[in-house]
Every structure is written in C-alpha cells, then in structure tokens.
Amino acid sequence: MKSELYIARRFAFKPRSSSKPTFIVFLAVAGIALGTAALILTLSIVKGFSTQIESKLIGFSSHFQIRQAQGNLFYPLPADTLRLNNIENIDSVTPFMEKSIILQSREGENELIKPAMLKGVSRENPPAFLQKNIVDGAWFPDETLPSLHILVGKPLAESLRLSPGSRVMIISTAKGTSGKLIQAGDNIVDLLSSMELELATVSGIYETGLNEGFDDYMVIADLEAMQRFFNAEKALLSGYEVMVKDIERLNATATESVDALGYPFYGYTVFERYANLFEWLKLQRNITPLLIITITVVAVFNIISTLLVLIIEKTKEIGMLSALGLVPGKISGIFLAQAFLIALIGILVGNMLALGFSVFELHFHLITLPQKNYFIKHVPIQIELFDYLMVSCVVGLLTLVFAFIPARVAAALKPGTALLS
C-alpha cells in the first residue's frame, strides 16, 4: 500500500509543470472542507439553539410542576415535601405561589395598565436562572420590608415605564384565592368588592429573551412576602416545582410524584406545558438530516468529478503503469488513496474552520438575531466532540465508497489505448 500512497501523492500534489490537476485537487479539498464545516456548524447551531431555549423554559418553571385541581391554593404539609424528596430521581422540591394580577403605573397624567402573573419564589434559595438575567436593579433585599418588592420583565417594564425603585399598583382578587379577576355572572358591585389593591416596589428588571408569556407577563416576588401580603396568616401555595437528576426518567418521576401525593394533586412536565415551543424546536432538528444529506451528496459528487478529471489528466501515466505490470487492483488502489488523501485534508481543514468559527462567534457574538422572534440575541453554538467525529467519519466513509467508481474506471483502461491517448 505504500507504493499506491506514494504514487497517489505524486499524482495529486506534485504534477508535471504542464498539467493542472493541483488546482482541481485544491477545489476538491475546498469543497470537502466547506461541506464538512457546514455540516458541523449546522449540528452545533441546532443543538445550541435547542439547548438554550430548553434551559430557559426549565429555568422559568423547573422540570415539572405539581398543583391541585382547578389551580386551587392549598396549605403545605411537611409530609408532602418529605414524600417527594424520598423519590429517588428528584433533585429538589421548591414551593411557589402564583396569582393573576393587573399592574397599574402612572406616567404624568396617563395611567398605564397591563395584566400579569405574580409568582412567589424563595428569597433564600433564589433561582440562579433569574438572578443571572437581572439587567437592572438587584434581587430582593434580605430584610423584611413594609412593601412588596418585585422583579419585572424588561418588555413589561418598558410598557409600564418602570425602573428599579418605581412604585406600581397591584390589583388582585381577595386574599386566599388564586383566581380569576373576572368571573362569569359577577356584577360590578361583587367584582369591585372582591378586588384588592397593593402597592409594590420594583426591585429589579430581568430579561431572559422569552417574550410572549414570560418577560412581558411574569412578575417575580419573594414567596414569604407574597404570602404575607395576599394570604394574611395563611402560608398558602399554588404548587411545587421539582427538578430531577435524570431527565430521561422525567415522565416516570412526575407520575410517581403525583401518585405519592394522591388526589387532588396532578403534575405536568415542562415539555407538556410548552408543547408548542418544543414542537417548534423538534421541527428545527427534523430539518437537519435533510441538510446533512444534501451537503454530503454535494461533497461526494465533488470527489467523483475530481478523480475523473485526474484520470483524464493521467491517462498516459496509467497506461505506463499498466505496461510496467501494475495490476488493475493496484491502479484502483492509487485512486482510492488519492480520494483518501483529498478527503483527509478536506476533513481536517473543515474541522478547523468549524471550530475556529464556533470559538470566534462564542467570544465576539458577531451574528445577531431578532430576540423577539428567536428568544435569543446571538447565534447559539454548542461545541461537541461527538459531532466533529461523526461528521468526519461519515464524510470520509462516503468519499471512499463513491471514489470506487472512478477508481474502477482507471483500472479498466487498456495500456495500449492509454499510451496512445
């Protein structure tokens, strides 16, 4: 095989001065390099996009939530938390409270009003996802304060002209209820008597990039403070947010948790709650194989055409080798070795291009996206060694398989015909 590699290297990279296969080989290497880089970047971007959106959704609502039927508030029992923590796959259990509200602020003589969802979370064990996404202001103060402090999403804050330190009116239903601000059959007197007003102070502004139903709707408060302001002496909850250790067992763990608590509790995973968003992400992943096949086919035809041109350029050399006694199998081996060398160089260059672009983009974020549509500001790239190895192996294997066709063409040339051409 050493002789085939030597001749293949001479044919491809050290031609006679009158021939032009070097330029053709350069194009073949460039084609495989660009195809390889495109494949790797496609996988990296699709995986990065899915991972970032999934982590944001989980950051907002955990792996799964447990609530009571009809969204009723309930008094927590220590035994319930103990049962959940005893389940093997559960990593953490965090109580939370949610309440539908209306926010009202004032700008000059104008009153600005927006519906929202107020969510109470633990101040002592704050969600790291929310903390790292605070763009203005700060997390809630440690000390107990006379007024309710809240975190507001940036789009909602812009709509209501709020900033850290701003005061905002919270309009909600009566204490001890979870429910709806307006119910069918309520007359205006009953409606007004069931509403309560509470002043709150904006502690900080957060921005996660998830706009509709998240940054423009969700308001975060300290759980204990929220219970104190809206439930008097009762520390009621809306449910538990649960994180698991092994996400592959998420559905089974959610079912086991609900069974452990019994009626009237029920649970749903983040994938069930935001099924439309995850279907959208699934669609992105489903397009990836089509792109991979298309780019791979282009790279394969590129190597076939290159080898055929090299055969035409080296017809006399092939005839001379045949006349010297080189068997057809050895001649096929020469052109398979050429395909191997071209593919190897192209794959290495493609890997370096993909890695270089990925690292550069991760550091400098040159390519921006409309956050309102894509939930992220910059192109997400997830570098995984497996993607690089898989793409390299697939491109290399297909190149060698399809290079067998021109290699057989070269082996079939008759010495007399080749020398006279």
Instruction: Count CB neighbours of 369 within 10 A.
Output: 15
Which carries the bigger pLDDT value, residue 303 or residue 65? 65
Q: What is the mean pLDDT of residues 363-383?
A: 83
% of the chain beyond a pLDDT of 90: 31
Segment 11-49, tens digit of pLDDT: 666 655 444 556 777 888 888 888 889 889 988 988 888
What is the SS3 string spanning the chain? CHHHHHHHHHHHHCCCCCCCHHHHHHHHHHHHHHHHHHHHHHHHHHHHHHHHHHHHHHHHHCCEEEEEHHHCCECCCHHHHHHHHCCCCEEEEEEEEEEEEEEEEEECCEEEEEEEEEEEECCCCCCHHHHCCEEEECCCCCCCCCCEEEEEEHHHHHHHCCCCCCEEEEEEECCCCCCCCCCCCCCHHHHHHHEEEEEEEEEEEECCCCHHHHHCCEEEEEHHHHHHHHHCCCCCECEEEEEECCHHHHHHHHHHHHHHHCCCEEEEEHHHHCHHHHHHHHHHHHHHHHHHHHHHHHHHHHHHHHHHHHHHHCHHHHHHHHHCCCCHHHHHHHHHHHHHHHHHHHHHHHHHHHHHHHHHHHHHCCCECCHHHHCCCECCCCCCHHHHHHHHHHHHHHHHHHHHHHHHHHHCCCHHHHHHC
Q: What is the mean pLDDT of residues 207-212?
A: 83
Residues in CB range of 397: below 8 A, 6 or more apart: none
Phi, psi for residue 316 in degrees, rounded to 5: -65, -40
Phi, psi for residue 132 in degrees, rounded to 5: -75, -10
What is the per-residue pLDDT for 315? 62
Which of 133-147, 160-174, 232-246, 345-359 has maximum average pLDDT?
345-359
Report domain extents, the chain.
Answer: 2-57+288-415, 95-239
Angle between helices 315-323 and 275-313 (to 10 degrees): 60
Which carries the bigger pLDDT value, residue 388 or residue 21? 388
Q: What is the mean pLDDT of residues 132-138?
A: 89
Q: CA nearest 242: which of 67, 52, 123?
A: 67
What is the per-residue pLDDT for 418? 45
% of the chain beyond a pLDDT of 70: 79
At residue 323 the predicted structure's pLDDT band, cuts being 50, 70 and 90, is low
| HSE toward the beta carbon, residue 270, CA cutoff 13 A | 19
What is the C-alpha to C-alpha distance for residues 310 and 19, in angstroms, rounded to an integer? 10
Which carries the bigger pLDDT value, residue 421 or residue 352? 352
- Measured CA distances, 392 to 62, 111, 121, 226 (Å): 37, 61, 47, 55
Q: What is the mean pLDDT of residues 121-147?
A: 80
Q: Is the pLDDT of residue 183 over 60?
A: no
Q: Is the pLDDT of residue 314 over 90?
A: no
What is the C-alpha to C-alpha distance for residues 323 and 319, in angstroms, rounded to an integer? 6
Segment 246-279, tens digit of pLDDT: 999 999 999 999 999 998 899 999 999 888 888 8
Q: Is the pLDDT of residue 409 over 70?
A: no
What is the per-residue pLDDT for 176? 46
Q: CA nearest 334: which of 24, 9, 14?
A: 9
Tokens of 352: 């370096």
Q: Is the peptide bond before 264 cis (omega within 30 degrees of 0)?
A: yes
**397, amino acid identity:** L
Provide the whole-model pTM. Answer: 0.76
Q: Is the pLDDT of residue 210 over 50?
A: yes
What is the C-alpha to C-alpha distance for residues 163 and 154, in angstroms, rounded to an integer? 9
Contact 333, 19 (CB under 8 A): no
Which carries the bigger pLDDT value, residue 414 or residue 200? 200
Q: What is the mean pLDDT of residues 268-293?
A: 82
Which carries the bigger pLDDT value, residue 178 or residue 133? 133
What is the C-alpha to C-alpha distance for residues 59 and 338, in angstroms, rounded to an integer? 51
